[in-house]
Amino acid sequence: MYSQGLIGADSSSDETPEFMAAFQQRIDREEKIEPNDPMPSGYRKTLIRQIGQHAHSEIVGMLPEGNWVTRAPTLRRKTALLAKVQDEGGHGLYLYSAAETLGVSRKQMTEELLDGRAKYSSIFNYPTPTWADIGAIGWLVDGAAIMNQIPLCRCSFGPYARAMVRVCKEESFHQRQGYEIMVTLAHGAPEQKEMAQDALNRWWWPSMMMFGPHDSDNTNSDQSMAWKIKRFTNDELRQKFVDATVPQAEYLGLSLPDPDLKWNPDKNDGKGSYDFGPIDWDEFWRVVKGGGMMNKDRIAARKKAWDDGEWVREAALAHAKKRKNQQATQNVAAE
């Protein structure tokens, strides 16, 4: 499966109750687990799954916005969007590198993405028909990503936590440039405000789905919380996102497409919080399982990029091999 021999020997036979208890005590003491530390195979597997899918999401997430780089309405919007899309590519490479420290190769992760064994965030399977979508993505999708990624800066796995610190700094710029686009449109001509409202109507519920299934339905959360990979549950982060975003929509003068949304003063230990309507999980799983409008396009684009890059990977590996042989020859001559 993964080349575990390289990094921190862990196999089910080593996972005695004492080993597992000692590992959990490290987690409970808030120690960072590093790649060469002994770790349960389930911990490694969960991290490879989550970090790999996170990385896939960052790279696939470049596609919906990349669609508008050549059509941005001004040079300033174009440069900001270019910077954001480039950032997302960097986040993906950062995260692939963090996953590789666990003994999985980029080749394997990419193959699993392309053949459907690995997921990416379903939100990126929606189309971006108008410029307002770029504002809505920055505001809502990156806003949801920030809500989810800030706790990951305290993830128990060192490389992931450290990667998230850099990523989160850039995400806040992504969210701000998106919200600024929405402010411009919402306070612009009626047609612009209508375009912003249309984008909000299409991106609100898929953004709510970004946090994953309800706590009662998700499969990985309990263990991920125990291992402090996750610091909050899916529903806790979703609620934080709603409570932060509703006032922003009100400032825009836009209405959220949820008739059940209302302030509940009794929630959140009497501090109050928003109630919201039911999420369409059939839609979520339909898109996750390939039924979204853009699933095929996204995977086709990733496959083309992977195939087109074959020669670059071959050349880089050949060059590295040649350098290694030259070094070996020099070492022999020096002896």
CB under 8 Å to 335, separation ≥6 — which residues?
none
Taking phi first (over 0 means left), then psi (-120 to 50 degrees means alpha), and beta for anything else, what does residue 232 get?
A: beta
54 is an interface residue for ligand 3HC by CB under 6 A: yes
Query: What is the Rg, in whole angstroms, of the alpha carbon atoms belonging to the chain?
Result: 22
For residues 51 and 193, which CB has a smaller minimum distance to ligand 3HC in the complex? 51
- Site residues for ligand 3HC, 212-231, by CB under 6 A, read 212-213, 218-221, 224
Instruction: Rule CB under 6 A: choose which of 288, 294, 295, 302 binds ligand 3HC.
Output: 288
Environment class of residue 11 by beta-carbon count within 10 Å: exposed (0-12), middle (13-18) or buried (19+)? exposed
Q: Which of 220, 293, 301 is nearest to 56 (CA)?
A: 301
- Quick one: tokens of 69? 């780089």
57 is an interface residue for ligand 3HC by CB under 6 A: yes
Report the distance separating Cα 211 and Cα 146, nearest Å: 11
Closest contact distance (angstroms) between CB of 19 and ligand 3HC is: 24
248 is an interface residue for ligand 3HC by CB under 6 A: no
Closest contact distance (angstroms) between CB of 282 and ligand 3HC is: 14
Instruction: Rule CB under 6 A: choose which of 59, 81, 85, 145 binds ligand 3HC.
Output: 145
Helices 106-114 and 295-308 cross at an angle (nearest 10°) of 140
41 is an interface residue for ligand 3HC by CB under 6 A: no
161 is an interface residue for ligand 3HC by CB under 6 A: no
- Quick one: tokens of 306? 């992977």
For residues 192 and 283, which CB has a smaller minimum distance to ligand 3HC in the complex? 283
Q: Which of 166, 260, 147, 153 is nearest to 211 (CA)?
A: 147
For residues 50 and 101, which CB has a smaller minimum distance to ligand 3HC in the complex? 50
299 is an interface residue for ligand 3HC by CB under 6 A: no
For residues 67 and 192, which CB has a smaller minimum distance to ligand 3HC in the complex? 67
208 and 238 in contact (C-beta within 8 Å)?
A: yes
Instruction: Rule CB under 6 A: choose which of 33, 53, 103, 302 binds ligand 3HC.
Output: 53
Residues that bind ligand 3HC (CB under 6 A): 49-50, 53-54, 57-58, 61, 88, 119, 121-122, 141-142, 145, 148, 171, 174, 209-213, 218-221, 224, 234, 288
